[in-house]
Structure 1
Amino acid sequence: MAISSSILFCYLLFSLISNVASSFMYSDDRRDVLFPQILKEEAVTRLDELGKVSDANGYLQRTFMSPASVRAGNLIRQWMEDAGLRTWVDHMGNVHGRVEGLNASAQALLIGSHLDTVVDAGIFDGSLGIITAISALKVLKSTGKLGKLKRPVEVIAFSDEEGVRFQSTFLGSAALAGVLPVSALRVSDKSGVTVLDALRENSIDIAEESLLQLKYDPASVWGYIEVHIEQGPVLEWVGFPLGVVQGIAGQTRLKVTVRGSQGHAGTVPMSMRQDPMTAAAELIVLLERLCKHPKDFLSYDGRSNGSTLESLSSSLVCTVGEISSWPSASNVIPGEVTFTVDLRAIDDAGRETVLYELSNQLYQICEKRSVSCIVERKHDANAVMCDADLSSQLKSASYAALKRMTGETQHEIPVIMSGAGHDAMAMSHLTKVGMLFVRCRGGISHSPAEHVLDDDVWAAGLAVLAFLETHV
């Protein structure tokens, strides 16, 4: 009896140890399938490393062809080569990494985002899309599948999306899409340096002819996808790490110059002033009222209808992000004030209606105040709808990625609109586009407080990997 009890005890103990061992073995296998070393740990480390490459001390800033931008491009190029990609830098400073797969003549999938940043930026905007793409391809290299892709895949780190230095967004992606005008090469920054100068300072000798040659042949491209932080609160609110983008809002950027009569702050009576600063202040408040309450300003006429007004009420946003005055002295009534306007809406017709009404109201205020006003349209981009098939494929890839991570079938992947502009807007002129959003804490972006969970970086990389494994 004692012997039987001992045998039974040993059997139960052996079974328990076997089950525990099997459990750990399953966990290890599952981790191998999830590739955490590449898609999570290494990706997060690289995001941190890239976030330290800055032109400023104490905060992140990388603008088009700045020294830090060039260093960041070199670093990204190294990581592309580490993933098994052939690399080069084109005449607009875009960094490319490409693998030909089984059929080099097949249409290529392009994956990209931007390496430039705003002033005092976060480390994820733009960089996340580049790093997740490189990481997914590195996984394929490590598993021996990189050369077995059915079509070429090219990762592109675009040189300019934010438009901080030259106030002209999408310099990098618009050149490849063939929609960047030759005149863009002659645009100058605040120091008088032109785009052409900035490129030549970095040993990139570009001429008008070579700019035109940058355009990709649409017949050679299968599609474009982009991974990007949401820059909004929706995914965090619904509790999902990933969301598929349905479309991107159209955008207009204006530069408004108000000129008045410069004078002494202590000697010119208030009733006799032609003050461009107070005029600019009234114009800015008008803009806020118009964009908060478009229905109070726009009527149901040939320019707007009920659906347009409804769309504007939910999607219209307007921002004055920069203002300057001359001569900018505390004891001088300014002679000139300049400010920027950033206006966005999902409905292009509605956006034009708002701009028309803003222009009318603006000139009335300037006339009333006896100042002159000049409005320059610096940038226009129509709203872009993402390709339905690409969006469906990205949704399936997101399902697959989250199921791999959690072992459970997920609920419906959110489908959301983007109020921010992206390189996908420019690339839509070349090919079909799709976008995947990644949750960011508090919806905060364009700020050092910008944050993405390590596991969400992981989920994004897995989704790109699943997309490549299934559709490319």
Structure 2
Amino acid sequence: MAVPHPSSSSSRSHPFLSHVYHTSFHHHHHHNHPSLVLFWCLVFSLLSPLALSSSSSSSSSSSDSSSSSSSHISLGIGETEGTKHDLHQAILRDEAVARLHELGQVSDAATHLERTFMSPASIRAIPLIRGWMEDAGLSTWVDYMGNVHGRVEPKNGSSQALLIGSHMDTVIDAGKYDGSLGIISAISALKVLKIDGRLGELKRPVEVIAFSDEEGVRFQSTFLGSAALAGIMPVSRLEVTDKSGISVQDALKENSIDITDENLMQLKYDPASVWGYVEVHIEQGPVLEWVGYPLGVVKGIAGQTRLKVTVKGSQGHAGTVPMSMRQDPMTGAAELIVLLESVCKNPKDYLSCNVQCNEDTVESLANSLVCTVGEISTWPSASNVIPGQDARLFSMTYQLGCTRYVTKDRFCAPLNESTMQTQ
């Protein structure tokens, strides 16, 4: 696989996050996809006021669109003033959804979606995503960490770029919207601007990035793709190996990406050259659906700590060792799991403050701390044997931020009053 390297003039060891915007939405299982429509409110406002066209004769525009090969939808923003924003329904909804389904079929497993860092499915996804980017009028390349980039440079505009994107890898048995939604949504928005002849009228460069790794499934080391661009990935991480003994560096070389210590450092983005970053992401929980809102503006994301803990015991025959003489690590592990559950449900009952925290910190944890034991294994894993030891992987996540859940009107109206006005 060819790995184009960005030209020195643009230095495309680009920017990283000076302003971060992250949105999350719940997917409704019907054809209207209102959450996608809401997302365009944000994306188009960030791209340029010129990105949205309005028409004083909305009824005429609506009738013309029915005979067009690219049908249209209206967000309803500013309709009280007789204006509508045509957003090419065929692209922003129908084509975007079709591409989500298509990318969801690119998998290393036949029965479920699985696409990990530099796996065969991941390599098949790269030209597919690049093709979509080029279809939207973007210049594309793959960097030394396997991230896929698509960029448009306006003729006259700020040198600071807006980055948009998400990750293209998945967890095992993943949902087809996880990561892919943020990539495809960004590409679709830019394709509309290309069709309208407005791609060159953007106020700043726009770059779509499909990050090669976020989930960390293969190498148990998350954010390989974005960490490299942020300049916070240590060189030593290239030597981390998967279960087959293949290192990150080997996996890249197997796919014709010759990464070295030097060119890893070249990937770091200069923060001064980035205006901001925005990402749309499917909500991976039930809250939006539960509160009845299609969209949330994320003000904080979960930080994750993973601990592997081994509880040792004494192996023995399950039928002959009396209960009073057992040292069963499985029962000890079970007690720890229940204790962990209690701590996370009621942290105020277990945690006390020292000089590094206060009561507000504990109160925040009470509303946001989540803990999970995601993996447990025993030896020798036989029904008639008391385990000799019980190793398990604790995955404890905690979130000190929050998500603001919003309706269409509450979300779009402020944008309409400020950056979304047509100039």
TM-score (norm 2): 0.74
Give the one of 230, 235, 238 matched to 1:182: 235
Determine the structure 1 residue equivalent to 2:244.
Answer: 191
Give the one of 84, 88, 98 matched to 1:35: 88
1:119-198 residue pairs with structure 2 within 5 A? 119-198=172-251
Residue 411, structure 1, aligned to residue 410, structure 2: yes
State which drifts further: 115-124 or 230-239: 230-239
1:153 Cα deviation after fit: 0.8
Give the one of 341, 352, 366 matched to 1:313: 366
The one-letter code matched in structure 2 to 1:47 is L
Mapped to 2, the partners of 1:80 and 1:262 lie a distance apart of 58
1:339 Cα deviation after fit: 1.6
Determine the structure 2 residue equivalent to 1:10.
Answer: none
SS in 2 for 1:256: strand
Percent identical pairs in the alignment equals: 70
Mapped to 2, the partners of 1:271 and 1:39 lie a distance apart of 67
Distance change (3 Å), C-alpha of 1:202 and 1:259: farther
Residue 25, structure 1, aligned to residue 24, structure 2: no
1:84 Cα deviation after fit: 0.9
Determine the structure 2 residue equivalent to 1:426.
Answer: none
Determine the structure 1 residue equivalent to 2:270.
Answer: 217
Determine the structure 1 residue equivalent to 2:168.
Answer: 115
Distance change (3 Å), C-alpha of 1:169 and 1:414: farther
1:130 Cα deviation after fit: 0.3
Mapped to 2, the partners of 1:262 and 1:160 lie a distance apart of 40
Determine the structure 1 residue equivalent to 2:289.
Answer: 236
The one-letter code matched in structure 2 to 1:210 is N
Residue 249, structure 1, aligned to residue 302, structure 2: yes
State which drifts further: 92-101 or 131-140: 92-101
The one-letter code matched in structure 2 to 1:246 is K
Distance change (3 Å), C-alpha of 1:27 and 1:152: closer
The answer (yes or no) to whether the contact 1:166–1:187 under 8 Å persists in 2 is yes
Describe the superposition over 1:186-245 as per-residue Cα deviations: whole angstroms up to 9, x where unpaired: 222222222122212212121222222211111221111111112233433444333222
The answer (yes or no) to whether the contact 2:72–2:89 under 8 Å persists in 1 is no
Determine the structure 2 residue equivalent to 1:204.
Answer: 257
SS in 1 for 2:162: strand
The one-letter code matched in structure 2 to 1:55 is D
1:78 Cα deviation after fit: 0.9
Describe the superposition over 1:13-70 as per-residue Cα deviations: whole angstroms up to 9, x where unpaired: xxxxxxxx95962775964812101101100000000111111111111111111111
- State the superposition RMSD in angstroms: 3.2
The answer (yes or no) to whether the contact 1:102–1:151 under 8 Å persists in 2 is no
Determine the structure 2 residue equivalent to 1:376.
Answer: none
The answer (yes or no) to whether the contact 1:256–1:338 under 8 Å persists in 2 is yes
SS in 1 for 2:332: helix
- Considering fraction of residues, name the structure with more helix: 1
Q: Which has the larger radius of gyration?
A: 1
Give the one of 270, 279, 284 matched to 2:332: 279
1:127 Cα deviation after fit: 0.5
1:105 Cα deviation after fit: 7.2
1:264 Cα deviation after fit: 3.9
1:315-354 residue pairs with structure 2 within 5 A? 315-347=368-400
Give the one of 147, 155, 177 matched to 1:102: 155
Mapped to 1, the partners of 2:130 and 2:65 lie a distance apart of 34
The answer (yes or no) to whether the contact 1:111–1:226 under 8 Å persists in 2 is yes
The answer (yes or no) to whether the contact 2:158–2:203 under 8 Å persists in 1 is no
The answer (yes or no) to whether the contact 1:242–1:414 under 8 Å persists in 2 is no
Unaligned runs of 5+ in 2: 1-58, 74-84
Mapped to 2, the partners of 1:200 and 1:38 lie a distance apart of 36
SS in 1 for 2:275: strand
Determine the structure 2 residue equivalent to 1:450.
Answer: none
Determine the structure 1 residue equivalent to 2:345.
Answer: 292
Determine the structure 2 residue equivalent to 1:365.
Answer: none
Mapped to 1, the partners of 2:213 and 2:226 lie a distance apart of 8
Mapped to 1, the partners of 2:121 and 2:105 lie a distance apart of 9
The one-letter code matched in structure 1 to 2:94 is E
The answer (yes or no) to whether the contact 2:182–2:280 under 8 Å persists in 1 is yes
Mapped to 2, the partners of 1:187 and 1:60 lie a distance apart of 24
Distance change (3 Å), C-alpha of 1:187 and 1:261: farther
Determine the structure 1 residue equivalent to 2:49.
Answer: none
1:77-96 residue pairs with structure 2 within 5 A? 77-96=130-149
The one-letter code matched in structure 1 to 2:410 is H
Mapped to 2, the partners of 1:148 and 1:303 lie a distance apart of 50
SS in 1 for 2:305: strand
The answer (yes or no) to whether the contact 1:235–1:414 under 8 Å persists in 2 is no
The one-letter code matched in structure 2 to 1:84 is G
SS in 2 for 1:299: coil
TM-score (norm 1): 0.67
Describe the superposition over 1:117-154 as per-residue Cα deviations: whole angstroms up to 9, x where unpaired: 11111110110000000000000111111122221111
The answer (yes or no) to whether the contact 2:157–2:202 under 8 Å persists in 1 is no
Mapped to 2, the partners of 1:152 and 1:114 lie a distance apart of 20
The answer (yes or no) to whether the contact 1:95–1:157 under 8 Å persists in 2 is yes
State which drifts further: 198-207 or 227-236: 227-236
State which drifts further: 330-339 or 309-318: 330-339
1:250 Cα deviation after fit: 2.5
